[in-house]
Amino acid sequence: MRKTQRLITFILLFVVFSLPLKAQEESDNDFDLLLSNLDVHGFYEIRSGYRIRKDKYEKDMSIMEQRFQVEMSSYLDWADFKVKGDVYGDLVEEQADFDLREAFIFTRPFSFMDIKIGRQILTWGTGDLIFINDLFPKDWQSFFIGRDTEYLKAPSDALKVSLFSDLANLDVVYTPRFDHDRFISGERISYWNSNLGRIAGRDAVVHTNKPDRWFRDYEIAARLYKNINNYEYALYAYRGYWKSPGGQDPTGTQAIFPDLNVYGASVRGNVAKGIGNLEFGYYESDEDQSGHTGRINNSELRFLAGYSQEIGKNFTGGIQYYVEHMLDYGQYKDSMPSGLDRDRDRHLVTFRLTKLLMNQNLRCSLFTYFSPSDKDVYMRPNVNYKATDNLALEAGANIFFGDYPGTFFGQFRNNTNIYTAVRYSF
Amino acid sequence: MKTLLAFTIVFVFPWVLFAADDSNQPQKIADVETIINKANVMAYYQGTDGKAKVTMTITDKKGLTRNREFIILRKDDKDGGDQKYYVYFQRPADVRGMVFMVHKYVALEKDDDRWLYLPGLDLVKRIAASDKRTSFVGSDFLYEDVSGRSLAEDAHELIETTDEYYVIKNVPKKPDTVEFAYYNVSIGRQTFLPMKMEFYDKNNKLYRTIESKKVEMLEAKQGEEIVKYPTVVQSVVSDLTTGGKTEMEFSDIKYNTDLKDDLFTERYLRRPPREAIR
Residues, chain A: 426
In angstroms, the separation between the Cα of residue B184 and the nearest Cα of chain A is 24
Residue A157 host element (H or E): strand A156-164
Confidence of residue B155 (pLDDT cuts 50, 70, 90): very high
What are A317-358's pLDDT values in tens digits?
Answer: 999 999 999 998 888 887 777 666 788 999 999 999 999 999
String of b and e for B37-55 (b: at least 16 CB within 10 Å)? bbbbbbbbbbbbbbbbbbb
Domain B37-272, CATH class in plain words: mainly beta
Who among B60, B103, B121 is closest to A359 (CB)? B60
Q: What is the pLDDT of residues B55-109, one digit of tens each?
A: 999 999 999 999 999 999 999 999 999 999 999 999 999 999 999 999 999 998 8
Question: pLDDT category, B135, cuts 50, 70, 90?
Answer: very high
Choose the weakest-confidence range: A23-27, B166-170, B210-214, B219-223: A23-27
Band (pLDDT 50/70/90 cuts) for residue A17 is low
User: DSSP for A215-234?
Assistant: TTS-EEEEEEEEEETTEEEE
Q: What one-letter code names the amino acid at B232? A: V
The DSSP secondary-structure symbol of A203 reads G
Our measurement of the distance from residue A209's CA atom to the centroid of its chain's CA atoms, rounded to an integer in Å, reads 21
Instruction: Assess whether pLDDT exceeds 60 at residue B10.
Output: no
A401 forms bridges with which residues in the sheet?
A: A377
Contacts of A359 in chain B (CB under 8 A): 58, 60, 135, 138-139, 244
pLDDT value of position A360: 93
Tell me the whole-structure pTM to 2 decimals: 0.90
- pLDDT, one tens digit per residue, over A58-99 is 999 999 999 999 999 999 999 999 999 999 999 998 989 999
Q: What share of chain A is helix, strand, coil (3-state, %, to 5)?
A: 15, 55, 35
pLDDT at B244 over 90: yes
Of the partner residues B94, B244, B274, the one whose CB lies closest to the CB of residue A392: B94
Residue B197, CB-side half-sphere exposure with 13 Å CA sphere:
24
Domain ranges of chain B: 37-272
User: Are B32 and B156 in contact, with CB atoms under 8 Å apart?
Assistant: yes
Can you spell out the DSSP letters for A272-310? TTEEEEEEEEEEEEGGGTT---TTBPPPEEEEEEEEEEE
Phi, psi of B43 (to 5 degrees): -80, -35
Contact B207, B199 (CB under 8 A): yes
Euclidean distance between CA atoms A33 and A29, whole angstroms = 6
The pLDDT tens digits of the residues spanning A264-322 come to: 999 999 999 999 999 999 999 998 877 777 789 999 999 999 999 999 999 999 999 99
Nearest to B120 among A150, A162, A360 (CB): A150
Q: What is the percent of chain A with per-residue pLDDT over 70, rounded to a whole number? A: 92
Interacting residues of A16 by C-beta distance below 8 A, sequence separation 6+:
A81, A83, A103, A104, A105, A118
Dist. CA A82–CA A102, nearest whole Å: 7
Query: Cβ of A132: how many Cβ atoms within 10 Å?
Result: 24
Q: How many CA atoms lie within 13 A of A384 on its CB side?
A: 20
- CA-nearest of A313, A344, A312, A343 to A326 is A344
Q: What is the set of domains in chain A, with CATH numbers? A: 2-425 (2.40.160.10)
Given this model, what pLDDT does residue A251 score? 85
> Cβ–Cβ of A41/B93 closer than 8 Å?
yes
